[in-house]
């Protein structure tokens, strides 16, 4: 029996913390007629046989990474489903990183005005962030995630053994979101991570499992209280206002989690200068992120360009930049109307 975390959104569903994702998936699909597995070629080779009861599995192989999150791929998925005669009682399963689960979920949200789907995240970022929370979507030429829908999965199956094959870089990038969860809601995460390096963590499955579980719980609690992001859900964007600007400025050459790490570093400087956090909390950002080899500076930036990119952030109200802040680990607030000079000063500290 798996441990589980229940998410109450527009539907209530469980995130299963599974010892063996295959047997969890078999249990959930054995009474289905058709199931489309949306995945990438490299994952398909690792998935192997999924037969369960009378369920017929069809593979829909999509390009890896952001390329797989395009309207063209979405169109392909719709056509696959229609050609295979998928009905409202059939199922889509997305197996892969956040890019795969985002597009699989969006295909499920839109095909026949919504069919059920299950997420099997294979990356840390996917497990603690993308697959939980019901946001699904695709990219346009003009930007990431510009189309999408809220459509919660039927279940999420998290099996941390997937992480063994992640590169250190992708493993660390996913952990940036775990650190974020520590700062916004669960400071115990920060205590557990203190002094940890990537090597320590990779060697300690129990600790990784605990950190993943805690981060999913943070997301479940926040999403359960504010599914469509009217206020509380914004807190999940701690570090993301500057982070998203860096991500776009770097033309997506950095991992999302690396940009979030730089964004949290920016916030640490800004919050210290504004008297919102203590020197100790400021320093904690840098000790944890640096131990994980996550970047805390971005030297290729241009302040005016980054500021313009920040102004396109979802949290901007009118023309006012708005940041999610913490006052201490676990306590969030918002900051608006910060003087340009203060923002520029914080930028100066991360642009070294
Ligand atoms: N829906 C949401 O709420 C939400 C939240 C955060 C991020 N996202 C989205 O998630 C995506 C980022 O997630 P990601 O970092 O998982 O990106 P990704 O899906 O692009 O995966 C990153 C790389 O890791 C590889 N990979 C995945 N699992 C692996 C494994 N077990 N072993 C080896 N390689 C593996 C992938 O093939 C890919 O090359 C972005 O598209 C982002 O917009 C969505």
Read off the CATH number of the domain in which 182 is found: 1.20.1090.10
Q: What is the CATH number of the domain that holds 41?
A: 3.40.50.1970
In the chain, how many domains are there?
A: 2
Residues in the chain, pLDDT under 50: none
Pocket test for ligand 1, best of 45, 63, 130 (most atoms within 8 A of CB): 130
**DSSP-derived 3-state class of residue 93:** strand
Helices (H), the chain: 21-29, 41-47, 71-83, 98-110, 124-125, 168-184, 187-193, 198-202, 205-225, 240-249, 256-273, 279-291, 303-310, 340-350
Q: How far apart are CA 259 and CA 265, in angstroms?
A: 10
Strand-strand pairing, 91-96 and 116-121: parallel
Residues 180 and 133 in one domain: no
Let me know whether 147 and 191 are in one domain: no
Contacts of 106 (CB under 8 A, 6+ apart): 74, 136, 137, 138, 147, 148, 149, 151
Kindly state whether residues 88 and 184 are assigned to the same domain.
no
Are residues 13 and 74 located together in one domain of the fold? yes
Note the pLDDT of residue 142: 82
For a substitution probing ligand 1, which of 43, 98, 159 has the most ligand atoms within 8 Å of its CB?
98
Domain that includes residue 144, residue range: 3-161
Final residue before a domain boundary, out of 103, 131, 161: 161
Does the CB atom of residue 223 touch ligand 1 within 6 A?
Answer: no
Alpha-carbon torsion (182, 164, 168, 135), positive or negative: negative
Quote the pLDDT of residue 314: 59
Which of 161, 177, 212 is where one domain is finished?
161
250-282 residue pLDDT tens: 998 999 999 999 999 999 999 999 999 999 999
R_g over Cα of the chain: 20
Whether residue 334 sits in one domain with residue 198? yes
DSSP letter assigned to residue 9? S
Same domain assignment for residues 121 and 245: no
| pLDDT score for 227 | 87
316 and 177 in one domain? Answer: yes
Q: Are 289 and 261 in contact (CB under 8 A)?
A: yes
* Same-domain check for residues 101 and 197: no
**pLDDT tens digits, residue range 48-77?**
888 878 899 999 999 999 999 999 999 999
Residues 227, 311 share a domain: yes
CA-angle at 51, arms to 46 and 57, nearest 5° = 80
Could you give the count of Cα atoms lying within 13 Å of 97 in the half-sphere of its Cβ?
A: 25
Q: 105 C-alpha vs ligand 1 centroid, how far in Å? A: 14
304 lies in the same domain as 216: yes
The residues that bridge with 37 in the sheet, in sequence order, are 59, 93
pLDDT at 54: 85
- Which of 161, 177, 207 delimits the end of a domain? 161
Same domain, 157 and 182: no
- Looking only at the bridges linking them, the beta strands covering 34-39 and 56-61 are parallel
Tell me how far apart the terminal alpha carbons of the chain are, to the nearest angstrom.
50
Taking only the tens place, the pLDDT of each residue in 212-242 is 999 999 999 999 998 888 888 999 999 999 9
Atom of ligand 1 nearest to the CA of 257: 15
Q: Are 324 and 237 in contact (CB under 8 A)?
A: yes
Q: Are residues 102 and 193 in the same domain?
A: no
Predicted pLDDT at 1: 53
Give the atom of ligand 1 at the shortest distance from the alpha carbon of 170: 24
Ligand 1 centre distance from Cα of residue 306 (Å): 24
Alpha carbons 226 and 154: distance in angstroms, whole number: 19
């Amino acid at each position: 029996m798996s441990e589980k975390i229940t998410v109450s959104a527009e539907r209530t569903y469980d995130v299963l913390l599974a010892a063996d994702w295959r047997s969890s998936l078999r249990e959930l699909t054995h009474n289905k007629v058709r199931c489309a597995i949306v995945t990438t070629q490299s994952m398909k080779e690792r998935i192997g046989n999924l037969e369960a009861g009378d369920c017929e599995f069809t593979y829909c192989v999509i390009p890896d990474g952001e390329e797989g999150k395009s309207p063209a791929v979405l169109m392909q998925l719709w056509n696959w489903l229609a050609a295979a005669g998928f009905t409202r009682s059939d199922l889509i399963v997305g197996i892969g990183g956040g890019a795969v689960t985002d597009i699989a979920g969006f295909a499920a949200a839109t095909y026949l005005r919504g069919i059920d789907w299950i997420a099997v995240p294979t990356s840390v970022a996917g497990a603690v962030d993308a697959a939980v929370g019901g946001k699904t979507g695709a990219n346009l030429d003009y930007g990431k995630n510009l189309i999408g829908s809220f459509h919660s999965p039927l279940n999420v199956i998290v099996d941390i053994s997937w992480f063994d094959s992640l590169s250190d870089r992708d493993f660390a990038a996913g952990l940036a979101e775990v650190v974020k969860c520590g700062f916004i809601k669960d400071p115990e995460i920060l205590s557990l991570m203190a002094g940890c390096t990537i090597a320590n963590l990779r060697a300690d499955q129990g600790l990784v499992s605990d950190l993943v579980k805690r981060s999913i719980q943070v997301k479940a609690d926040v999403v359960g209280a504010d599914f469509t992001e009217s206020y509380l859900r914004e807190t999940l964007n701690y570090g993301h206002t500057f982070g998203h600007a860096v991500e776009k400025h770097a033309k997506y050459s950095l991992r999302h989690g690396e940009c979030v790490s730089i964004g949290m570093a920016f916030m640490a400087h800004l919050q210290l200068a504004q008297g919102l956090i203590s020197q100790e909390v400021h320093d904690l950002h840098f000790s944890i992120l640096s131990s994980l080899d996550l970047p805390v500076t971005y030297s290729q930036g241009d302040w005016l360009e980054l500021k313009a990119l920040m102004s396109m952030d979802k949290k901007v109200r009118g023309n006012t930049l708005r940041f999610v802040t913490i006052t201490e680990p676990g306590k969030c607030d918002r900051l608006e109307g910060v003087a340009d000079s203060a923002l520029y000063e914080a930028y100066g500290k991360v642009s070294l």
